[in-house]
Chains A and B, each alone.
Chain A
Amino acid sequence: MNMPATNPAVEPPISEKSGWDRAIASRSFLFGAAITFLVAAMALISFFWTPFDVTNLVIANRLKSPSVQFLFGTDHFGRDIFSMIMIGARNSIAVALVAVGIGMAIGVPLGAWAAAKRGWVDEILMRTNDVVFAFPSVLSAVMITAIFGPGAINAIIAIGIFNIPVFARLTRGSALSLWSRDYILAARVSGKGATRITVEHILPNILNLLIVQGTIQFSLGILAEAGLSYLGLGAQPPMPSWGRMLSEAQTMIALAPHMAIFPGVAIILTVLGLNLMGDGLRDAFDPKLRGEN
C-alpha cells in the first residue's frame, strides 16, 4: 500500500558517513576501546613473556599478598596471579571471540535468508530460533558437557549456539525493514535477485548494527565463559582461566581474598571496556539517539 501525500518537510537523514567519526569523538567509545586494547595487548604479550612462569609451582611462595614482587599476590600453589591473569585473558578472549564468530557466521545468513524469503522459510527458521533461545548458554553447556565432557571447545560451542538466534533475529528484523525501502525496489526493478540484493544493499547497511551487537555479545561471552569455567565446564587445568581462578579462590577466601579480587576485576574491566565501546558505537550510529533534546 502506498501512503498518501506525506509532509514535504521530511526530515533529511543525517549523513551516514560520519558514524565512525562520531564514535571516535565519543568519550565512552574511546575509554572502552582503550581498556579493550589493554586486555588484548596483555593476552598477546603473555605468549612471549609473563612476569613469572605459571607452570612452575613454588610452594614457598604460596598465598603471598600483593607486593612489588608479586603485583597481584600468589595463589595456593605459589603461582603469580598477575601472570595467570595475563594468560587467562587469552582463553577468555579466544572463547568469546570464536563463539561470537560462530553466532555471526551462522545467524547472519540465516536471518538474511529468512528476511529475503519470508513465508515458510521465515516461519520455520524463527520457530527453531525460539527453541534454541529457550536454552540459555549455561544449560547448553551443561548438556554438551554431559555428552562430551568439559573443555574450552565445548564452552565455545555452548556460547556459540546461544549466539546464533541473537544474530539471526537482529539480522532478520533489520533486514525486513530495509526490504521495504524504495532502493530495494529500484534494485529489483533493475533485475537483481534476492542474494545479490542482500549482499549489495542489505548487509552493508546493517553492518553497523552487527558490529554493535557483536561487541555486546563479545562481552556477554566473556561473562558466560567465566561462569562456565567457574563451574569447571570450561578450559581445563593447567590452562589458567579467570573463572577457574575464582572457583579456586573460593576455598581460600578467608585466607587470601586477593585471589578472588583480581581475576574478578579483570573480568569486570574487560566486560566494561567492551560494553562502553558498544554503547559509544551505538550512540554514534543510531540516528534516533542523536539530536535528542
Chain B
Amino acid sequence: MSWFLTRRLVSLLVTLLFATVVIFAVLEIIPGDPARLMLGINATEEAVAALREQMGLNAPLVTRYLSWLSGLVTGDLGTSLTYSSKVSELIGERIWISLPLALLALFLSTIIAIPVGLFAAARRGKASDTGIMAATQFGIAVPNFWFALLLVYIFAVVLRWVPSGGFPGWENGFWPALLSLAMPAVSLALPQAAILSRVARSALIEVLGEDFIRTARAKGLTKNQTLWNHALRNAMIPVVTIMGLQFAFLLAGTIIIENVFYLPGLGRLVFQAITQHDLPVVQGTVLLLVATVVVINFLVDVLYAWIDPRLRSSTR
C-alpha cells in the first residue's frame, strides 16, 4: 500500500478511537443515574443499586470505557433503556432506511450536479451559465426540510399522488418502499446538487487554465478531446472531496428529513431516544454515524490515490 494510504488508514483508526472517547465521555457527564432512569422513579434504592452493580456502573471509569470498547469491537453497543432490546439490533433494523436514503440522495445529487456543472463550465460567461449559477445560488439557500414540506404539500396534499410520509417496509415489496424514499431523497439531494454543481464548474474552469491544457492543445487535440482526455479527470479531485463531505451532511440530514416524513430510520430512532433519555441508543447511533463519516473520508482518500498517481507511489 502506498505511503499516503497507510498514513490515512492510521489517521482513520486514531480518529475513530478519539471519537469513542468523546462519545463515552458524553455519557459520563450526563446528569442522572441510568439505572434509576430504567427502573422509574418508584423503584426502591436496593433495586437501583442492584441494577447498577449488574450494569457494571460501579467499576472505575477506565475499566468501563475498556469494556464498552471491547463490546464495540464485538458489535455489542449495550441495551436500550426503553426498548429493552439490544442497541445493535435496533440500529440493524433502522439502518436499512437511513443508509439507502443517504445513498439515493448522493446518487441523485451526483447525476444532477456533474453534468450541470460541466455544462456551465463549458459555456462559461454565457447566458445559460449565468442562469444555472443563479439557480444553484438559490438551491443552496433552500433548507432541505422546507423543500420537503413543499414537496409534501404539492404531491401529497394537492395532487394526492403519494402518501405524505411513513414507510411500508422492504418486506412489502421493493418498489413501494423505494417510492416512499423518493421524496425524502429528492429533498435531501437538491440543495447538495446545487453545491456540487458549483464545485464541479469551478474545478473544471480552474483545470482548463492549467499549463498542461495548453500543451494538449499544442499537440493538436481539439477542445473537446482536451476536455475529455485531460481536464475531466483532474477536475474530479475537488469534486470527490466535496462528495465525501456531503455524504456526512446527508447522513446528518436524514435525522431531520426522517422526522418530516415519519420514516422509522436512525434519525427518528436517535431523536426519540433523546426525548426518552435512552442514552445507550443515542451513544450507539451517534457513534455509528460518526464512524460512517470517518470511513467515507478514508474511501475518498482511496479514490484520490486511484485518480492521482502522485499519491500512489510508495514513498512521499
Contact = CB atoms under 8 A, between A and B. Distances in A.
Q: Answer whether A and B touch in the complex at a CB cut-off of 8 Å.
A: yes
B19 interface: yes
12 contacts: A127-B14, A134-B15, A134-B19, A135-B22, A142-B255, A142-B271, A143-B282, A146-B26, A223-B141, A246-B143, A275-B137, A288-B206
Contacts of A269: 141
Contact of B252 (A137, A264, A271, A292): A137
A254 B158 CA distance: 8
Q: Is the interface of A mostly helix, strand, loop or mixed?
A: helix
Given A127-B18, A257-B153, A134 B143 contact: no
A272 B253 contact: no
A258 to B, nearest CB: 11
Interface string A127-153: 110110011111100110111000000
B139 to A, nearest CB: 10
Interface stretch (A13-21, A198-206, A224-232): A224-232
A207 B118 CA distance: 32
Given A136-B251, A146-B30, A264-B143, A127 B15 contact: yes
B141 A231 contact: no
Contact of B260 (A127, A250, A279, A288): A250
Interface stretch (B53-61, B87-95, B166-174, B289-297): B289-297
Interface string B15-34: 10011001100100111000
Interface stretch (B35-43, B144-152, B175-183, B214-222): B144-152
B72 interface: no
Interface string A93-134: 000000000000000000000000000000000011011001
A136 B279 contact: no
B112 interface: no
Nearest to A279: B137
A227 B187 CA distance: 14
Contacts of B271: 142, 231
Contacts of B149: 246, 249-250, 253, 260, 264
B9 interface: no
B140 A271 contact: yes
Interface in B263-316: 270-271, 273-274, 277, 279, 282, 286, 289-290, 293-294, 297
Contacts of B23: 143
- Taking chain B's interface residues, is the majority helix, strand, or loop, or is none over half, making it mixed? helix
A267 B191 CA distance: 14
Interface centre among B14, B141, B205, B282 (most CB of A within 10 A): B141
A219 interface: yes
B146 A267 contact: yes
Given A257-B153, A260-B149, A276-B137, 19 more contacts: A127-B11, A131-B18, A134-B19, A134-B297, A136-B252, A138-B256, A139-B252, A139-B289, A142-B274, A143-B26, A226-B146, A227-B143, A231-B255, A246-B146, A253-B153, A260-B146, A263-B146, A275-B140, A292-B209
B259 interface: yes
B107 interface: no
B26 A130 contact: no
A219 B195 CA distance: 13
A143 B142 CA distance: 25
A145 B274 contact: yes
A118 to B, nearest CB: 16
A58 interface: no
B138 interface: yes
The 3 closest A-B pairs by CB, nearest first: A136-B252, A271-B141, A264-B146
Nearest to B146: A264
A134 B291 CA distance: 8
B248 A130 contact: no
B249 interface: yes
